[in-house]
Amino acid sequence: MILANYINGVLQPPVAKVYLDNFCPATGEVYGKIPASTAADIDLAVAAAKEAFPKWSTMPAAKRSAILMKISEGINAQRDVLAEAESKDNGKPLWLAQKVDIPRARDNFAFYATAILHDTSETHDMGSAGFNYTLRKPIGVAACISPWNLPLYLFTWKIAPALASGNTVVAKPSEVTPATAYLLSQICIDAGLPPGVLNIVHGTGPDTGAALIGHPDVPVISFTGGTATGAAIAREAAPMFKKLSLELGGKNPNIIFADCDFDDMLQTTVQSSFANQGQICLCGSRIFVERPIYEKFKTAFVERVKQLKVGHPTAPDTKVGALVSQPHMEKVLSYVALAKAEGGTVLCGGEQIYPEGFENGYYVSPAVIEGLSFDCRTNQEEIFGPVVTITPFDTEEEVLAMANSTKYGLAATIWTENLKKAHRVAAAIDSGIIWINCWLVRDLRTPFGGMKQSGVGREGGFEALHFFTEAKNICVKL
Ligand code: NDP
């Protein structure tokens, strides 16, 4: 499959006619070509978005909403094709793409298509002196840049609120997983999205992404990816005073108290550790277990993890598919080696494996490691793969200090049946998102994002809609 850019309503090749290889992680084979777009393509896309902005931004909300709902319906109609493309491009189990990624992409558009029908703005009454009201105006051409782990899910999580609030968009998916973004282009054409309102440009971060970030006609940027990339984007954008939303990395604690519902905790902790091969920014990679149940947990957890079937993404019994790329697999394996060098004991997994018939794919068995100090590199740096550490603790103060010891603050999970303790610990953890006795239970209305170096700003609900607007106060004297 040779992918094309979607610019000004038309699928077109990159200006320079240069392409990159697209790899299938399950087999290691090249199966497609991706435009290696340059600043010339970004210039075309931004010009198209700029031209489309006046009409789109002043279109009645109900009309914009109807077009966005058609895109949602288009995603739903194409859900099987999209799920297969996502699984092939990313290496994730097909059932996961069918159950989570594609339904969520559909829901992102439906959620923001309807949210704009219910949004309101504030008035501030000053009594006899007068009053203020707030107008929220779309900003202009928004840049949306997303990573490879949940490709269409995260791509649409940005594009939908940006478009719904009246901006036009130039979006760049990760070059590692471009397939579903490409398929979305045709869905948008079929839904009647006016030309230029959404433009999807493929290519690498340092070339295509950087050209988009630096473009003078792009005043607002929504980025999800690694913390180092976020820092580079912030450096570039700051002198141009661009508005930024950054959703970055995590090193999330999963805190298990002895009084938890053990079976429920165990089942969910297997998922929160290894879902999507551990490549979810919300996965709990540092598991802290209260000492009285540490040995019981360790035995039961390792036994369950060993049972997880690692294999080809389309096999229905596969629980852990392929990692997204060879370089990423090498990075994950290097962290397992680092953990050993730091004195850790690998209780299971952490090895490259070679399923029969797919020996060149990027498969790593899920790893559980113990015996590491909370402040070693393995416990401080984001691995973003199927690797977790387990660490015992004795007191609430101790576990809070360990949980809060990293530079990240994205998500945390707490397991306890003690209500007071749950709320006390939740309030004390430096994370933007806390789950108590559950994990990855999502309500799209809630604020989503991280503290510290996990990000700047919040997505979700009206937070995202408002991010893509400028608030303007109008003061009226009576
Ligand atoms: P990267 O930061 O490498 O890339 C993210 C996106 O940015 C990709 O589209 C990439 O393009 C692009 N990019 C890279 N360099 C630049 C640049 N200089 N200018 C503009 N764009 C650039 O992250 P990964 O794709 O490796 O994703 C994994 C990371 O994402 C993890 O750290 C994870 O925690 C984080 N993440 C955070 C989430 C959150 O909500 N907080 C959710 C999901 C993931 P390309 O890939 O084509 O090079």
pLDDT in tens, 110-165: 999 999 999 999 999 999 999 999 999 999 999 999 999 999 999 999 999 999 99
Residue 343 Rama label (left phi>0; alpha psi -120 to 50; beta): left
Percent of the chain predicted with pLDDT > 90: 100
pLDDT of residue 26: 98
The 3-state DSSP class for residue 10 equals: strand
Range list of H helices, 59-123: 61-77, 79-90, 94-96, 102-115
What does each C-alpha distance from 63 to 58, 115, 193 come to in angstroms?
A: 10, 13, 11
Mean pLDDT for 394-403 is: 98
In the prediction, which pLDDT does 272 show? 98
Compute the average pLDDT of residues 398-422.
Answer: 98
Phi, psi of 30 (to 5 degrees): -80, 125
What is the CA(258)–ligand 1 centre distance, in A? 37
* Confidence class for position 93, pLDDT limits 50, 70, 90: very high
Catalytic residue among 247, 370, 382, 459: 247
Q: Provide Rg for the chain, Cα atoms.
A: 23
SS3 state at 59: coil
Residue 193 is classified by DSSP as P
Which stretch of DSSP H or E encloses residue 163?
helix 151-164
Name, in order, each residue with C-beta under 8 angstroms of 370's C-beta and a sequence gap of 6 or more: 298, 344, 345, 347, 389, 390, 391
Report which of 205, 214, 199 is spatially closest to residue 176, judged by C-alpha positions. Answer: 205
Helices 151-164 and 102-115 meet at what angle, rounded to 10?
10
pLDDT band at 5; cut points 50, 70, 90: very high
Q: How much is the pLDDT for 278?
A: 98
Taking CA atoms only, the protein residue closest to ligand 1 atom 30 is 225
Number of Cβ within 10 Å of residue 76's Cβ equals 17
Spacing, Cα 155 to ligand 1 middle (Å): 11
Read off the pLDDT of each residue in 227-237 and give the average, rounded to a whole number. Answer: 98
Cβ atoms 134, 476 nearer than 8 A: no
247 lines ligand 1 (CB under 6 A): yes
Nearest to 255, CA basis, from 434, 452, 454? 434
**pLDDT tier at 371, thresholds 50, 70, 90:** very high
Distance 225 CA to ligand 1 centre (A): 3
Q: How far is the CA of 131 from the centre of ligand 1 (A)?
A: 44
Q: Is the CB of 455 under 6 A from ligand 1?
A: yes
Kindly report the pTM of this predicted structure.
0.97
Amino acid, res. 117: L
Assess whether the C-beta atom of 202 lies below 6 angstroms from ligand 1.
no
pLDDT at 28: 98
Residue 277: which pLDDT band, with cuts at 50, 70 and 90? very high
**pLDDT cut 70: percent of the chain above it:** 100
* 281 given a catalytic annotation: yes
